[in-house]
Structure 1
Amino acid sequence: LPRYLNFIKGVVDSDDLPLHVSREVLQESRILKIIKKKLVRKALSMLADIAENDKRIAEAQEAKEKGEEAEEEEEEAKPGQKKQTTILFPKFWEEFGKNLRLGMIEDGTNRARLTKLLRYKSSKSEDSLTSLDDYIKRAPEGQKSIYFLAGESIEKIKQAPVLEDAMERDVEVLYMVDAIDEYVVGHVTDYAGKKLVNLAKSGVKFEELSKKDKAVQKKRAEKYEPLTKWFKDVLGEKVTKVSLTSRRTKEPLVVSSPEHGVSANMARIQKGQTLQEKSLDGGAAKRVLEINHLHPLVDEIFKRVQVDDKDKTAEELALVLFDVASLQNNFEVDDSLAFGKRVGRLLRQSVDIAPDAGLVEEDVSEYTAAIEEEEEEAKETEEVAAEDEKPSEDL
């Protein structure tokens, strides 16, 4: 068996194996190759049966809870198998899910079979695992893609600004929280005719635009072209592209990854791999800046730039907003010291403190006076205590 199925143990009995066994014979044996192929397919078929039985049992339990009579489908156990009476696949996935995902990367021949066994939690199924087939069944008829978002944990994924758009549109999103998931989706570009789309990348579309909407979008881009060009000049090589965002978001800026580039999460994973090449570390993640032209801060920047494209306040604000958006979308801030200073200057400005105002001078005398007063009181207390002890000594 391949290494991704190394958790399966068993004995194969065959009359066709050669009597004279050696390593060379075993490696070149046509019979062994056929046995391996059959065993892998049999193992995956058994796992698919478990998943299918889970669905049948879950439906029966749901019908029972509703007080309905479930349609009894007497399933006889296959030879060599026990009849399944409880839900088993979630526990199996928790234990050996990584093995199956490794198989997605290594075993191209059985990738289609393995894809059916993939399970993830989603925005509409946070308490239980869902398959790609179940996702497609729940999706609206016109939805052409399967949307997902990868991160360190479900809690962090929920904080991502790029998720906000999907939630507002009531689009289900798969949550991928294991490091291997990013590699898996790299080998599965589509499933059942639906493309797998990473929300962390640019160019995400939830619906096709009408001819009128496209015309409006074009005119909007022309109006804000000076702003996108100004942002590109200010940020320079930090971003590969600047455009107006089509996402429904309350954030002023969204930093995403190029459609065919490395995502911020993948860059983080690669950076954490000890033997990773330097050229593939987290710094290799390119950034695309998406501007929300409806946000009041962006509108203020646009007004200032139209008057003076050298406006220092607009530049400071743009750089701070870019660094904040980078952090929100799992990118690193290139210069944390400069970021901290910019935030400090903007905070000073917001409460009318001069940018060059130094530290407040401290009057230490108020502390020394209090200390002297406390010492004087302590001395008086000691004298009174000494006077109280004198009569007892005379007696």
Structure 2
Amino acid sequence: MRITKLLLAVFATYAVLASAQQEDALQPGVSGLPVEEVDKLYASEKHVVFQTEVSRLMNLIINSLYKTREIFLRELISNASDALDKIRFMSLTDSNALASNGHFNISIVADKPSKTLVITDSGVGMTAEQLRANLGTIAKSGTSEFLSHLESEKNKGEQMNLIGQFGVGFYSAFLVADKVTVASKSNDDPDQHVWISEAVDDFVIAKDPRGNTLGRGTQITLHLKDDALEYLEEENLKALTKKYSEFINFPIYLWSTNFKWVENKSDAAEISEEANVKDDTEAAEKEPKREKVEVKEWELLNTQNPIWTRDPKEVTENEYMDFYKTLDKEPEAKPIIWSHFKGEGDVDFKAIIYVPERAPRNYYHQLQDIPHRIKLFVRRVFITDELGADFIPRWLSFISAVVDADDLPLNVSRETLQKHKLLNLISKRIVKKALDLFAHMAKTDEEKYAKFIREFSMSLKLGAIESSQYRKKITQLLRYPSSLEKEGSRVSLDAYVSRMKSGQNSIFYSTGTSVEEIEQSPFLERLLARGYEVLYMTEPIDEMLIQALPGYNGKAFANIAKGDLKFGDEDESEGETLKKLNEQYQPLTDWLKNTLDEHVEKVAVSKRLTTSPMAIVASAFGWTGHTERLMQAQAANPGAKDDFMFQMMMKQKKNLEINPDHPVIQTLLSRIEDGEIDEETKEVVTVLYETTAIRSGYTLKDVNNFTKRVESIVRKRLDVDLNKQADYKVEMAKDKTPEEIKEDEEKASSFADDASEEDDLDDTRAAHDEL
């Protein structure tokens, strides 16, 4: 068995190489059986009726089974690949198997004059009886029979990785052809035979009047329908082959038209003769003119090597980079990291995962509808790239990957999967491998990982919110700036926890639109003064993330702008001190509560402040200033402002905390105690509250009155009369002149005529579309 695997590996290594010897083995512009010969045979030979119900089944296959017509080329190339695999496998034990043709290739020729498309392979071929059995019977393919034969000889057929086990892929040819001719030559039959059918209810089998033109192999000629002539265009054939069969293990050639510059022979001869006769040095130095000529030649279509089938140790970094450009279809695209691995167990598959250097354009704006960049192959034949969020969650949709399964069960059309359980197993392995790849990058290359986090931290956070299964792993991957490391996003939760202070049970964090904004927050003051580290969360999704996380390693998250802040190392003396301060400042807190009753629910002495006079704190379940601004931005959508919850939270009163060490607060307490409160003091306190609201991250509901109050204080400070207004003079604008009115009317008339012409053009287009 080991020898067999070794030989197969050797074959796989060189099979796809496009050598000159391979091209020489192909017949230039080889065509199928001429149309007149086909018609003559079909009319003269005995027709064989398909097995019972085959016509009805064929009708189903042609009209219902396949989603798109272009699938026919993939199916026929896959069948050709199977035939080549068979003869290659036979040659391991039979030295004469390749005597008739030692090459492995597939060729495609489009013949526009005869409206035929010819696909030829140098595979195992079929005898007349095999043509009858395999093409005259639905779901009885040569591949299935071949596998059964191998199993009976105690050989394991899965080593051969043959695809077509349903026997219906061939009939996809009738999606585009109204008549199909199959010429085939097997080593087991001295003659070459043809099979002809119009997909009605019968077929013809006869000796090929051309004789043995193939040596060995099969040639399928499609007589295309008039509405399928697009498949004779070289560009279409190239595109379809690259899409579905780019990684087939054998070279695929297309007889194509190219243009080359060549020397004009008559001009070259004339210059040479002139030089010889006259011995003219100037004539000898003349260069003959070049002309562009049309050249017909074989073009190799599948030049890309399926590197995922190779041992990762044998693939170079440049090969991985080049393959990514092919996969991503962007010549300048670069991956930041990749993983090449093999999955074994209930389902065997090979895969390469790529993480792009940058997020796709508009990635986060179109996350719901972003196309997933996962290509699924079954034994190197492309199946689909439309697996969607059922396969890879949307938070991981930025990765590119190629997945090639050995035995993934497909339905007969290869377009939908029969058993989702195996697909789910592959999906879990891909997600786990991607997370392991991120973790490896974080551990081995901090600079590279910092770039990755800058691009995709929002995706990881979305994953932590949506996926409870992977939440713990994803949370370990998150990085934030902090009060200790402000540059970049390099602080992990593990690093934060390792630096926590004695008795600290909370992970302190603050939210805002930027690090600079958070650093201006009054909530940081005492925490930083006491040496606590605070995480800076600057992405809108952070608010939702914290709600989804129960905590981390037994530590709860604490927003320093919400609720009752606890450091964790408080003792009884601190509690007594705070109690005495609340009693001492109660006259001021009561007065502030009455004065600012429209805005505040409670006023208390603060444990957060050192240098600011006061701060506005959200309740434990309320909205911080940052959250409120986010929700107001969301409320820009129609109807959002009428939402009951939104209105309730916006009207919710806040908690006001005062700093007993600040001179402004101490002065206010003295005035309250001395009974020196007047309207001017109330006005100053109101302005102080409003500026505090701005510093605390909240937006003012009444900006107009705020500016009036500030102006009033400025006037009093500068001794300016409060009632004096600005003295200004303004000239009224002149009416339009008659000339201007006439010019505007002419422009309006011209604009209306243009619009009318555009409407007429739209009507014409609509009528054309209906036709």
Q: Compute the TM-score of the two structures, normalised by the length of structure 1.
A: 0.76
Structure 1 residue 121: Cα displacement: 1.2
Structure 1 residue 25: Cα displacement: 7.6
Indicate the residue corresponding to 1:358 in structure 2: 724
**Does the alignment pair 1:39 with 2:425?**
no
Structure 1 residue 166: Cα displacement: 2.1
Higher deviation after alignment, 353-362 or 235-244: 353-362
Higher deviation after alignment, 304-313 or 236-245: 304-313
SS at match of 1:333: coil
CA contact (8 A) 2:601 2:653 kept: yes
SS at match of 1:126: coil
Structure 1 residue 288: Cα displacement: 1.5
Mapped to 2, the partners of 1:229 and 1:16 lie a distance apart of: 76
CA contact (8 A) 1:168 1:248 kept: no
CA contact (8 A) 2:442 2:449 kept: yes
CA contact (8 A) 1:304 1:314 kept: no
CA contact (8 A) 1:305 1:314 kept: no
**Structure 1 pair 271–361 and aligned structure 2 pair: CA distance change class (3 A):** closer
Structure 1 residue 112: Cα displacement: 0.5
CA contact (8 A) 1:201 1:258 kept: yes
Indicate the residue corresponding to 2:453 in structure 1: 93
Indicate the residue corresponding to 1:169 in structure 2: 530
AA of the residue aligned to 1:35: I
Mapped to 1, the partners of 2:506 and 2:660 lie a distance apart of: 27
Structure 1 residue 15: Cα displacement: 4.5
Structure 1 residue 321: Cα displacement: 0.9
Query: Which of the residues 551, 554, 566 maps onto 1:193?
Result: 554
1:211-290 to structure 2, matched below 5 A, reads 211-273=572-634, 274-275=636-637, 277-278=640-641, 279=643, 280=646, 283=650, 286-290=653-657
AA of the residue aligned to 1:2: P
Mapped to 2, the partners of 1:215 and 1:267 lie a distance apart of: 35
Structure 1 residue 350: Cα displacement: 3.4
Structure 1 residue 23: Cα displacement: 11
SS at match of 2:481: strand
CA contact (8 A) 1:301 1:318 kept: no
Structure 1 residue 24: Cα displacement: 12
| CA-to-aligned-CA distance 1:23-48 (integer Å, 9 cap, x gap) | 99859722222222222112111111
Query: Which of the residues 308, 326, 332 maps onto 2:699?
Result: 332
Higher deviation after alignment, 295-304 or 279-288: 279-288
Higher gyration radius (CA): 2
Indicate the residue corresponding to 1:10 in structure 2: 401
AA of the residue aligned to 1:217: L
Structure 1 residue 131: Cα displacement: 0.9
SS at match of 1:306: helix
Higher deviation after alignment, 20-29 or 169-178: 20-29
CA contact (8 A) 1:323 1:333 kept: yes
Structure 1 residue 180: Cα displacement: 1.4
Indicate the residue corresponding to 1:142 in structure 2: 503
Query: Which of the residues 290, 312, 331 maps onto 2:679?
Result: 312
SS at match of 1:10: strand
AA of the residue aligned to 1:277: A
Structure 1 residue 346: Cα displacement: 2.6
SS at match of 1:164: helix
CA contact (8 A) 2:578 2:605 kept: no
Mapped to 2, the partners of 1:294 and 1:204 lie a distance apart of: 18
Indicate the residue corresponding to 2:494 in structure 1: 133
**Structure 1 pair 27–6 and aligned structure 2 pair: CA distance change class (3 A):** farther
AA of the residue aligned to 1:112: K
Mapped to 2, the partners of 1:27 and 1:289 lie a distance apart of: 62
Structure 1 residue 310: Cα displacement: 6.0
Mapped to 2, the partners of 1:21 and 1:228 lie a distance apart of: 78
Mapped to 1, the partners of 2:456 and 2:487 lie a distance apart of: 19
CA contact (8 A) 1:305 1:311 kept: no
Give unmatched runs, 5+ long, in structure 1: 56-86, 363-395
Structure 1 residue 17: Cα displacement: 2.8
Mapped to 1, the partners of 2:418 and 2:721 lie a distance apart of: 75
AA of the residue aligned to 1:314: T
CA contact (8 A) 1:150 1:177 kept: yes
Mapped to 1, the partners of 2:695 and 2:453 lie a distance apart of: 30
Considering fraction of residues, name the structure with more strand: 2
Indicate the residue corresponding to 1:51 in structure 2: 442
Mapped to 1, the partners of 2:693 and 2:525 lie a distance apart of: 16
| CA-to-aligned-CA distance 1:180-205 (integer Å, 9 cap, x gap) | 12221221241111111112223122
Mapped to 1, the partners of 2:455 and 2:715 lie a distance apart of: 53
AA of the residue aligned to 2:508: Y
| CA-to-aligned-CA distance 1:350-371 (integer Å, 9 cap, x gap) | 34x2664525999xxxxxxxxx
AA of the residue aligned to 1:91: K
**Does the alignment pair 1:117 with 2:117?**
no
CA contact (8 A) 2:410 2:416 kept: no
Runs of 4+ in 1 over 6 A off after TM superposition: 21-25
Task: Pick 1 or 2: higher relative contact order, CA cutoff 8 A, min separation 6.
Answer: 1
Mapped to 1, the partners of 2:568 and 2:401 lie a distance apart of: 50
Q: Percent identity over the alignment?
A: 36
1:292-307 to structure 2, matched below 5 A, reads 292-307=659-674
Mapped to 1, the partners of 2:569 and 2:412 lie a distance apart of: 62
CA contact (8 A) 2:629 2:699 kept: no
Considering fraction of residues, name the structure with more helix: 1
CA contact (8 A) 1:262 1:284 kept: no
CA contact (8 A) 1:304 1:311 kept: no
Mapped to 2, the partners of 1:5 and 1:356 lie a distance apart of: 62
CA contact (8 A) 2:712 2:722 kept: no
Indicate the residue corresponding to 2:519 in structure 1: 158
AA of the residue aligned to 2:405: S
CA contact (8 A) 1:240 1:286 kept: yes
Give unmatched runs, 5+ long, in structure 2: 1-391, 729-771
CA contact (8 A) 1:267 1:285 kept: no
SS at match of 1:240: strand
AA of the residue aligned to 1:94: R
Higher deviation after alignment, 7-16 or 189-198: 7-16
Structure 1 residue 157: Cα displacement: 1.3
**Structure 1 pair 27–260 and aligned structure 2 pair: CA distance change class (3 A):** farther
AA of the residue aligned to 1:350: R
| CA-to-aligned-CA distance 1:144-177 (integer Å, 9 cap, x gap) | 2211111111111111111222221222111111
**Structure 1 pair 349–294 and aligned structure 2 pair: CA distance change class (3 A):** farther
Mapped to 2, the partners of 1:186 and 1:176 lie a distance apart of: 13
CA contact (8 A) 2:600 2:656 kept: yes
AA of the residue aligned to 1:54: D
SS at match of 2:431: helix
| CA-to-aligned-CA distance 1:43-84 (integer Å, 9 cap, x gap) | 1111111111126xxxxxxxxxxxxxxxxxxxxxxxxxxxxx
Structure 1 residue 132: Cα displacement: 0.9
